[in-house]
Amino acid sequence: MPVPAPNLYPPFNIVRLSHVEYRVRDLAASRAFYVDILGLQVTHEETGRLYVRAMEERGHHCIVLVQADTADVGVLGFKLYDEPDLERAESFFAEKSLPTAWVERPHMGRTLRTRDPWGIPLEFYVRMDRLPPIHQKYRLYNGVKPLRIDHFNMFSADVDASVAFYGEMGFRVTEYTEDDESGRLWAAWMHRKGGVHDVAFTNGLGPRLHHTAFWVPTPLNIIDLLDLMSTTGYVANIERGPGRHGISNAFFLYVRDPDGHRIEIYCSDYQTVDPDLEPIRWSLTDPQRQTLWGAPAPKSWFDEGSTFEGTEPVPSALKAQPIIAP
């Protein structure tokens, strides 16, 4: 199926991705990983809940860690442009018979909670508590020195349908992988903020969250993180990389938190703000699409992901797969 034309005038205006809520079994272990190893900054801590932000972020949080019996994903959050967009977003989801509710969220203003057609829990807001800037407080820089949250990548049982739905909301395709035999999309990268992606969809058992990514200043930050993890008891949490993707051109590393939630550390992609930018096509049989250089992805990278709270994933009908390293 062809990539749909971009919707340059969507029904409501999404600025960017904003935050993710991870449910974790051991909050202290997760705190050690995200704060002491990755270097995210604590903005609020209470019994059973921890809020963190990256160094360039002025919003209150980009990750909420919640103590829970099961390790899954509570919600993916997106910032809207202005208050009327919240009403328009509610109408958009209600017209598609998808659930909508106005919820109270700490440190956030009026918030709309909903789900996409496959059950991914989403929330939209305009206002979040603003915090003083810390990007020049260099004494606070630790770990991989994360600057900002960059994107979500999700397993989808129907990538074509996911791209069509998120395209209606104004996400624009920058790059995609196509199965040569069926002509169907195997993966796609879509943005709002002018980078390669805010969201991406990869064929597989879905919906599940494949990873959340953080932008860092240089590849040397990734090397520093590898040195730190390998000497502090986290070497087994290093899953893939470092390397460079063909798609997005990003220098990358994938690590797993204590519950198995996957985090990508990421830099060096490119600007995509032009509304008439043509998406780049990759064949599923091209090995350089996922790894321009570096070791091939392990099987876990294709098979494992975090489930969404309250949603049961289903298999994809598209069985085409790239070559997987042993």
- pLDDT 10s digits, 34-76: 999 999 999 999 999 999 999 999 999 999 999 999 999 999 9
Taking the mean position of all CA atoms in its chain, how far away is CA 102?
23
Residues ≥6 apart with Cβ < 8 Å to 282:
175, 176, 177, 178, 246, 247, 289
- pLDDT 10s digits, 141-175: 999 999 999 999 999 999 999 999 999 999 999 99
Q: Rounded to whole angstroms, how far apart are CA atoms 197 and 152?
A: 8
CATH topology assigned to domain 150-307? 2,3-Dihydroxybiphenyl 1,2-Dioxygenase; domain 1 (3.10.180)
> What is the CB neighbour count within 10 angstroms for residue 141?
17
What pLDDT is recorded for position 2?
A: 76
Strand segments, DSSP code E, in 268-307 are 280-283, 306-307
Q: Rounded to whole angstroms, how far apart are CA atoms 306 and 121?
A: 13
What class is the 14-130 domain? Answer: alpha beta
- Domains of the chain, residue spans: 14-130, 150-307
What pLDDT is recorded for position 133?
A: 98
Given a cut of 70, the residues of the chain with pLDDT beneath it are 1, 323-326
> What is the CB neighbour count within 10 angstroms for residue 180?
11
Which tokens is 172 given? 């624009």
What pLDDT is recorded for position 325?
A: 57
Question: Please, what is the end-to-end C-alpha distance for the chain in angstroms?
Answer: 31
In angstroms, what is the C-alpha Rg of the chain?
A: 19
What pLDDT is recorded for position 326?
A: 54
What pLDDT is recorded for position 320?
A: 82
**What secondary structure letter does DSSP report for 293?**
B
